[in-house]
Amino acid sequence: MLRVLLVDDERLARHYVCSLIDWERHGFVIVGEAEGGIEAMRAIDRNRPHIAVIDMNMPVMDGVALCRYLHEYHPDMKVIVLSSYDKYEYVRETLKNGAVDYLLKHRLDEESLLQVLEKARSDIGSAAAAAGAGPASDASEREPAPSLLAVAEWLQGLDACGDSVRGWLERRWSRERARNGFAAVMQIANFRLLTETLPDGERTGLVRSIVDLCEQSGTGDPSLMIPVPLARGDIALLFYCDGSDERAVVRDAEERLGRIEYSIDLYLGMKAVFGIGPPVRQAGGVRDSFRKAAGNAEERMRQLHAGPSGAGARTDGEKPASLTLGQEKAIRNAVEARDVHAVGEALDGIVRSLREGPASARSIQGVLSELLAIADKFWQHRPERGCGPEPDDWASRGELTRLFHLDDLLQWLKERYRRLIERLVPDSDRPIHSAVIKEAVLYVRENYPDDISLELTARRIGVTPAYLSHLFKEETGTSFTEYLNRLRVGRSKRLIEDGESRIKDIYGKAGFASYNYFFKVFKQYEGVTPSVYLKRRLEQNG
């Protein structure tokens, strides 16, 4: 009996194919069904089918991608492709990747299905004859390797295909005459931030490039090291060694990983960190080695984020971190108010909480990703009359390949938000054209809580106070002092609404020189005193 796997995201379509023929009477048996490419990969590891009948149009991993995977990792499996569309691109890609035939669903009947199944049977028989493999040959020698996905899941404690993976590792261990084995885990600094905006194909291609560099740089004999892609760009490296000296094994590992690190830096411009697990004497023990290696890699990455000072690099009490609702609200309110200073304060507080957490390296990346997503959303919805760089320039995150410490990442984030606010429409119905006023507005927004003035700002940007005053009024429609006061009142209102400061303590944080002046200006712009404003806000919020 030849084993057949059906792969189609439509249950009715699978049922129709099942009902077309008496499978066992014709020498076939359906050993499994899958709703998509990822599920099919797992089913293949469990059931070892000879033939896969695959639908082209499936979510996440479509039939073309699955055919490529099977062509690379299960070249002996025969593939029959089904589709609702007669597209030349599909036909070309699937046949190029070894498909037996390409059938249209609306033309599929008993005769056409049997015809293509017999063709697959013939191809399987021809391949076995060419290899000199009869029915009595050693099946274990012909058994294909489990998918890398199955190996990754087994390493991480998922045992759906555990027996298959463990058996394969033991045979590999025996074949290499290994006396020691161990696992290492590689993490790429800022991988999530660098790749989360890339198309899936580009991200997958990058991971493939990293794996290729591991295979080429890790050792002179690729059979002694198996790279296994994990989630989020991490790579597990499974080593086999014929030496019995554990210290020599570790030393050899460090040399190999050093070559990999150098190659990834040289060819991809990325920073890799590694965690190494302890040597083990049995193939099954590699999973325990992997767990310790993963923890060591996480700790190395956290130390990289902490920088030379080591702040935030503690291992005790580590907990997951994400933006709180209050932190997200503070960032959004500051951007909506185009308040560069308030954005900087909010970012400082977020990074401080990550250090004090202490947060894991994975959590740090998650928080930074959330902050970038907020900025990107504002950028995508910026008014058309806002000016700024080309979208490709904004989308680029290439600088992150060389920024690892939290302090450096914080400064990069501040600059990104500053650029965002600089490109948003100013507090005026009139567009700003001159570089002088753009620079003046940005300087005021960054420094309004400090003791700044028209004279200081003019000196900062290299013009006379009289010229700046005239041009500022002409382009913004308001005087410099009024613009500055509006920023400070806006800051005062946000501080009042946050409820974390007493009203008599707010004036200094907003940049006013005295409480009396703050009281006067606030009432002038809002029509009520700060206390009345607070009372009304409390009543509105219930």
The reply to whether 148-304 shares the fold of 2-132 is no
**Angstrom distance (rounded) from CA 230 to CA 210:** 12
Residue with tokens 């699955």: 66
**Angstrom distance (rounded) from CA 403 to CA 273:** 14
Q: What is the pLDDT of residues 276-314, one digit of tens each?
A: 998 888 877 888 999 999 999 999 999 999 876 554 444
Q: What is the pLDDT of residues 13-55, one digit of tens each?
A: 899 999 999 999 999 999 999 988 878 887 887 888 999 999 8
Please determine, for residue 389, whether its predicted confidence score (pLDDT) is greater than 50: no
- What residue spans define the domains of the chain? 2-132, 148-304, 325-425, 483-540
Residue 387 banded pLDDT, cuts 50, 70, 90: very low
For the purposes of burial, counting CB atoms within 10 Å of the CB of 34, is it exposed (0-12), middle (13-18) or buried (19 or more)? buried
In CATH, the architecture of 148-304 is 2-Layer Sandwich (3.30)
* Fold for the domain defined by 483-540: Arc Repressor Mutant, subunit A (1.10.10)
Cis peptide before 146 (omega within 30 of 0): no
Between the two ends of the chain, the Cα-to-Cα distance in Å is 73
Residue 480 banded pLDDT, cuts 50, 70, 90: very high
* Fold for the domain defined by 2-132: Rossmann fold (3.40.50)
Lookup: tokens for 370: 């959330």
Q: Which run of H or E residues covers position 227?
A: strand 225-229
What global pTM score does this model have? 0.61
Beta bridge partners of 240: 181
Do the Cβ atoms of 247 and 240 come closer than 8 Å? Answer: no
Q: What is the pLDDT of residues 74-102, one digit of tens each?
A: 888 999 988 876 665 556 666 666 787 87
Q: Which amino acid appears at position 352 of this protein?
A: R
